[in-house]
Chain A
Amino acid sequence: MALDQSFVGRTYPPTEPYEVGREKIREFAQAVGDTSPVYTDVEAAKALGYADVIAPPTFVFSLTFREAGQVIEDPQLGLDYSRVVHGDQKFAYTRPVRAGDRLTVTSVIEAIKSMAGNDILDIRGEVHDEAGEHVVTAWTKLVARAAEEG
């Protein structure tokens, strides 16, 4: 069943701030096998002009996707998550995420489309720091594959 178009433009409020920890950044960098010292060594980060270690570019997805859960699990929207695949992902950065950031994510439904029985949902996550300054915007396209004919 096609998703309700009236959800386009709906904004989901930010929840509690996520505090970015140095050791979480280290764990993530190790998990993707990236040995750049700017993720783990404060002095190396400072040499590039950053106040603390920074996070790899895709790190912030963990936060934005958790927040997108409000949309995905919204019973009124009625998305069948068991049929969902990640279609596209994009980030636009004002600055890199860094250790010590306290980040909030505001999720917006940008578009709902139906193609060949698939529901396509575009969610935009706006990430701001504690001062209210923009850090990064994440666009996530989710595709709910059509249910098989029963």
Chain B
Amino acid sequence: MAAKISHADVEVGTELPTQSFPVTRATLVRYAGASGDFNPIHWNERFAKEVGLPDVIAHGMFTMAEAIRVVTDWTGDPGAVVDYGVRFTKPVVVPDDDTGALIEVSGKVAVKNDDGTVRVDLTAMSDGKKVLGMSRATVRLA
């Protein structure tokens, strides 16, 4: 059994369901623990500002982890991802309030390959800014 989306049913331009991912300071603390990345720019406002950031920022790898969920939720099989790459263009700034920030991710099929895979191009936005560039995943479909 493989992905639930069939290669035959997908065309270049097919849009994936858009998703929004909230991120608060608590999200970042939790991600720090789970990933082992304890860089203080992701939880210590004083430190973040000292190194020239506007505030605490999300781990780039957290944003990368959220963005691929648009693909893996679509296919239903996270193991069907063949490759995945991003450029970290802008930080996701996470204020110290109950709302935090929102990462909005959309994706569409950019290339349909003959080997049963497609390339999905992802767009990740936060606070009106594009936070990932060159965000692309190749995924095997059923």
- Residues of chain A touching chain B, judged by Cβ–Cβ distance below 8 Å, are 27-28, 30-34, 36, 38-39, 47-50, 54, 56-58, 61-62, 65-66, 82, 85-93, 95-96, 139
Chain A residues lying within 8 Å of B35, measured Cβ to Cβ, are 28, 31, 61-62
The answer to whether B81 and A86 touch across the interface, beta carbons within 8 angstroms, is no
How far, in whole Å, are A139 and B83 apart by their CA atoms in the complex? 11
Partner of A36, one of B2, B65, B73, B81: B73
**Closest beta carbon of chain B to A73's beta carbon, Å:** 14
The answer to whether A32 and B31 touch across the interface, beta carbons within 8 angstroms, is yes
Partner of B78, one of A28, A57, A62, A91: A57
Q: A31-B33, A87-B87, A88-B87 are in contact. Are A36 and B66 (CB under 8 A)?
A: no
Task: Count contacts between A and B, CB distance < 8 Å.
Answer: 98
**Closest beta carbon of chain B to A82's beta carbon, Å:** 8
**Closest beta carbon of chain B to A38's beta carbon, Å:** 6
**Closest beta carbon of chain B to A145's beta carbon, Å:** 9
The answer to whether B81 and A93 touch across the interface, beta carbons within 8 angstroms, is yes
Partner of A32, one of B33, B51, B69, B85: B69
Kindly report which residue of chain B lies nearest to residue A31, judged by CB atoms. Answer: B34
Kindly report which residue of chain B lies nearest to residue A66, judged by CB atoms. Answer: B36
The answer to whether B77 and A48 touch across the interface, beta carbons within 8 angstroms, is yes
The answer to whether A89 and B88 touch across the interface, beta carbons within 8 angstroms, is yes
Tell me the B66-95 residues at the A interface (CB within 8 Å).
66, 68-69, 72-73, 77-79, 81-88
Contact with A along B91-129 (1 / 0, CB 8 A): 000000000000000000000000000000000000000
Q: A31-B35, A48-B2, A61-B35 are in contact. Are A89 and B61 (CB under 8 A)?
A: yes
Partner of A48, one of B1, B30, B37, B69: B1
Q: How many residues of chain B are within 8 Å of chain A by beta carbon?
A: 34
The answer to whether B37 and A57 touch across the interface, beta carbons within 8 angstroms, is no
How far, in whole Å, are A47 and B69 apart by their CA atoms in the complex? 20
The answer to whether A47 and B61 touch across the interface, beta carbons within 8 angstroms, is no
B10 on the A face (CB < 8 A): no
**Closest beta carbon of chain A to B8's beta carbon, Å:** 20
B5 on the A face (CB < 8 A): no
**Closest beta carbon of chain A to B74's beta carbon, Å:** 12
Kindly report which residue of chain B lies nearest to residue A39, judged by CB atoms. Answer: B78
Chain A residues lying within 8 Å of B78, measured Cβ to Cβ, are 36, 38-39, 54, 56-57, 96
The answer to whether B85 and A139 touch across the interface, beta carbons within 8 angstroms, is yes
Kindly report which residue of chain B lies nearest to residue A81, judged by CB atoms. Answer: B39
The answer to whether A57 and B81 touch across the interface, beta carbons within 8 angstroms, is yes
